[in-house]
Amino acid sequence: MLRVFDMFSGFGGFHQACEKVGMEIIAYCEINKWAKKFYNQAFNTEGVKCFDDATKINTRELPNFDLLCAGFPCQAFSIAGKRQGFNDTRGSLFFEVARILKDKRPRYFVLENVKGLLNHEGGKTFVTIIKTLSDLGYNVEWALLNSKYFGVPQNRERVFIIGYLGKRSPGKIFPIREITKSNNLENKKETIIYWKNSKEKWVEEQKNYVVTIKTQSDLCRQPLIKIENKIRKLTPLECFRLQGFSDEVFNKGSQGISDAQLYKGAGNSVTVNVVYEIVKKVEVNKCGE
Ligand SMILES: C[S@@+](CC[C@H](N)C(=O)[O-])C[C@H]1O[C@@H](n2cnc3c(N)ncnc32)[C@H](O)[C@@H]1O
């Protein structure tokens, strides 16, 4: 059974996907108290080592593991943020990932970040990231994947960077085949209303997917839906469903957490279905080394 360190664990997107393929979460790290509350309520974390601040992890206290998962904080790279990159501590948290990889040498890692990481500083930031990971001795591959092709009706493009030790073997993890060219709402278009920043106006469209779920809960940030001439925000449960969370996980995890924190958690999360396809390949390939 592959052992996983869930770094920057948030509301547990990686956790669910890894558990679904039979991996064991042996430790997680998260600084936000609401994310930790959700995680502890939703999952059985008994015996799972918990770290708060990633910058303070003493790797001697971290048990050995085979796979590091991390959606390292991305505000510094996203177009929604100020694009400070490595000058911002949230951007430099990538180097905490590198530090853990250097000290613990897990066989695999799966990292996730916003699409804006690819062209930040004219691509220099991304090159630094790939070079840092390669210099640690990992075979590194990356792909831009859209959640809407993985069984959830949400347009969400994210960069996934994977690495593995040992002999390079193309096709081992990437390319990942999109599981569908359609999504749950294929035959059922809904009226989606959203604020288009570039045009500075509200746009109403018939779509079979919603725009990217964001972290802020105000009207301009979240997609709205119009049903029988009534316009409403998506509920927190709907946002988590759009990230591939099960209702059971949401119902357990969300107890005593405000809607504002839940919207933030959903917007920050990784889409479970996309990670599932990646870690499934890691799991299948683990013996062929
Ligand atoms: C992009 S989110 C990752 C979400 C996660 N992949 C999920 O599925 O919910 C980044 C997370 O890193 C956490 N974080 C930020 N700085 C941190 C630090 N210094 N140590 C630990 N966690 C941190 C944030 O609270 C946030 O939950």
Tokens of residue 281, six digits? 């390949």
For residues 91 and 128, give the distance between their C-alpha atoms in angstroms, rounded to a whole number: 12
For residues 84 and 76, give the distance between their C-alpha atoms in angstroms, rounded to a whole number: 5
The SS3 of residue 163 is strand
Q: Which atom of ligand 1 is nearest to the CA of 74?
A: 1
Number of domains in the chain: 2
If you count them, how many residues does the chain have? 289
User: What value does the mean pLDDT take over residues 244-272?
Assistant: 97
For residues 173 and 51, give the distance between their C-alpha atoms in angstroms, rounded to a whole number: 29
Same structural domain, 276 and 263:
no
pLDDT of 29 strictly over 60: yes
Phi, psi of 214 (to 5 degrees): -105, 175
Q: According to the model, what pLDDT value does residue 220 have?
A: 66
Give the domain CATH number at 48.
3.40.50.150
Give me ligand 1 centre to Cα 271, in Å: 14
Name the pTM for this structure.
Answer: 0.92
Q: According to the model, what pLDDT value does residue 233 have?
A: 87
Residues in Cβ contact with 124 at an 8 Å cutoff, skipping those fewer than 6 apart: none
Which residues approach ligand 1 with their CB closer than 6 A? 8-14, 29-32, 35, 53-55, 71, 73-74, 93, 268-270
Give me ligand 1 centre to Cα 91, in Å: 12
10 Å CB burial of residue 67 (0-12, 13-18, 19+) is buried
Q: Which atom of ligand 1 is nearest to the CA of 93?
A: 19
Range of the domain at 207: 190-246+257-267
State what percent of residues in the chain have pLDDT above 70. 88
Same structural domain, 162 and 83:
yes
Same structural domain, 148 and 137:
yes
Same structural domain, 68 and 170:
yes
Q: Which atom of ligand 1 is nearest to the CA of 113?
A: 1
Same structural domain, 117 and 133:
yes
Q: Which atom of ligand 1 is nearest to the CA of 53?
A: 20
Tell me how far CA of residue 194 lies from CA of 28, 221, 264, in angstroms.
35, 8, 18
Strands 49-51 and 224-227: unpaired
Same structural domain, 194 and 168:
no
Among protein residues, the one whose CA lies closest to atom 6 of ligand 1: 71
Q: Is residue 275 part of a domain?
A: yes
Same structural domain, 261 and 281:
no
Same structural domain, 164 and 204:
no
pLDDT of 105 strictly over 70: yes
Q: Is residue 252 part of a domain?
A: no
For residues 139 and 164, give the distance between their C-alpha atoms in angstroms, rounded to a whole number: 5
pLDDT of 242 strictly over 90: yes
Which residue from 16, 30, 212, 257 has its CB within 8 A of the most atoms of ligand 1, so it is best to mutate?
Answer: 30
Give me ligand 1 centre to Cα 103, in Å: 21
Whether the link from the prior residue into 175 is cis, omega within 30° of 0, is yes
Q: Is residue 251 part of a domain?
A: no
Q: Is residue 218 part of a domain?
A: yes
Q: Are 282 and 289 in contact (CB under 8 A)?
A: no
Same structural domain, 158 and 224:
no
Q: Are 112 and 275 in contact (CB under 8 A)?
A: yes
Same structural domain, 134 and 8:
yes
Give the angle 258-259-265 at the CA atoms, nearest 5°.
95
Q: For 78-96, write each residue's pLDDT tens digit.
A: 555 555 655 665 558 999 9
Q: Is residue 89 part of a domain?
A: yes
Q: According to the model, what pLDDT value does residue 103 have?
A: 97
Same structural domain, 61 and 109:
yes
Give me ligand 1 centre to Cα 41, in Å: 17
Give me ligand 1 centre to Cα 30, in Å: 6
For residues 206 and 213, give the distance between their C-alpha atoms in angstroms, rounded to a whole number: 17
For residue 28, give the nearest of 9, 3, 56 by alpha carbon: 9
Same structural domain, 161 and 55:
yes
For residues 185 and 264, give the distance between their C-alpha atoms in angstroms, rounded to a whole number: 24
For residues 271 and 266, give the distance between their C-alpha atoms in angstroms, rounded to a whole number: 9
Catalytic residues: 74
> 85 or 230, which is more confident?
230
pLDDT of 62 strictly over 60: yes
Q: Is residue 185 part of a domain?
A: no
Q: Is residue 62 part of a domain?
A: yes
